[in-house]
Structure 1
């Protein structure tokens, strides 16, 4: 993503319009409605599949945003103080690096990032619903409404800049809420025969002592092409 400080006012507005209209805000409403109606586990799982995919898609926008979101904000401002508390909480509790989180969004765990033991799909009914309630009431959805209101009101570049920073930190809070959970929507599905045979060939190759490559080596090779 282009450095937000280098965006023109027009570029910033267009970018923020894209963010506030991401699909996650629609899937969140559907998921919250299902929870409110005490929907079935099957219905919740189907909607959570959409929500989680939309959450990952939103994260792609932030992969190149490495700036400190609090940089140059007035430390005496009440909003800045709130954002600092949230940011401090994130940094104190986060266990993953940016690289690990990027790979997780691709469904991959690096060797340095053990798979979380908690599987969302295997959570007991009450724990599953409580997790979903936690997710749909995250700060991100408040920050989205505030940012959308700023856009509708024709707010200044400076106001939109602060609104984006609040949105970004709120996204990090949602990311943190999911960090200790593993979610694979394909887990438990039957593997087709051709893929099973390929796995057997790979296993035989490994047992024969053929060279293996780490995920980092594979992706570096692709990036170099």
Structure 2
């Protein structure tokens, strides 16, 4: 990903529009509806199906954001209320985060590096009350508050500074969601048949990341897909 300071106003606007259009946001709305219903085996089944979509949406969002390596606070006026809030959030994230970027990338491919043991808590095996509590926490993450704010901002003709601030706020909110999932194991493909060649490629990708030889696809190329 280009550094934010090197992006034009138009490029930053396109990136933000892409982020707020991700499928996780629509999936979150459907989860809210399901969580408002009474608990039942049928409801649990529907929640699990929709949560798979939610998690895949999170993985898709990560593809856009995991290359962002700048300090999201860099360049902000730290006297503003937004900057102060982001500073608190970042301190919380950095204090509580247990994984590296490489470890999180491998997790999103369904694997774990040797340095990152699989969490004991498996989302698919959580008791009903704990499962619903986790989902409630996830759908009420800061990301969705920021999403609504950024969506409204994009309807205005904003200067670069405001767009830059909006991206940083969105990114930090994404990190909070990522952190909320860190203590849990979840494989959206669990129970689904994986073709042998796909499984082999995933194993190879994990090995390449561990060896430091993985090829990173630039964000600009991903955007063309």
Q: What TM-score bracket applies, with the shorter chain setting the length?
A: 0.7 to 0.9
RMSD over aligned Cα atoms: 2.6
Mapping of 1:209-224 within 5 angstroms?
Answer: 215-216=207-208, 220=212, 223=215
Name which of 165, 168, 172 aligns with 1:169: 172
Deviation per CA, 1:157-202: give whole Å up to 9, x if none.
1001001100000000000000000002343x3879x96xxx9xxx
Residue in structure 2 matched with residue 26 of structure 1 by the alignment: 26
* 1:124 aligned onto 2:97: no
Counterpart in the other structure of 2:159: 156
The 1:218/1:142 distance shift into structure 2, 3 A limit, reads closer
Give ranges in structure 2 of 5+ residues lacking alignment. Answer: 201-205, 217-225
Please give the TM-score of this superposition, normalised by the length of structure 2: 0.85
Q: Is residue 54 of structure 2 the alignment partner of residue 62 of structure 1?
A: no
Alignment of 1:1-225 (within 5 A): 1-38=1-38, 40-187=43-190, 189=191, 215-216=207-208, 220=212, 223=215
After superposition, give the CA deviation of every residue in 1:30-78 in whole Å (9 maximum; x if it has no partner): 1111101236100100000000000011011112100000012111111
Q: Which has the larger radius of gyration?
A: 1
> Take 1:217 and 1:51, find their aligned partners in 2: how far apart are those partners?
26
Q: Give the number of equivalent residue pairs.
A: 208
TM-score under structure 1 normalisation? 0.85
**Structure 1 runs (4+) greater than 4 angstroms displaced:** 217-222
CA contact (8 A) 2:208 2:214 kept: no
- Which segment is superposed worse, 146-155 or 130-139? 146-155
Structure 1: distance between partners of 2:176 and 2:28: 16
CA shift, 1:109, in A, is 0.6
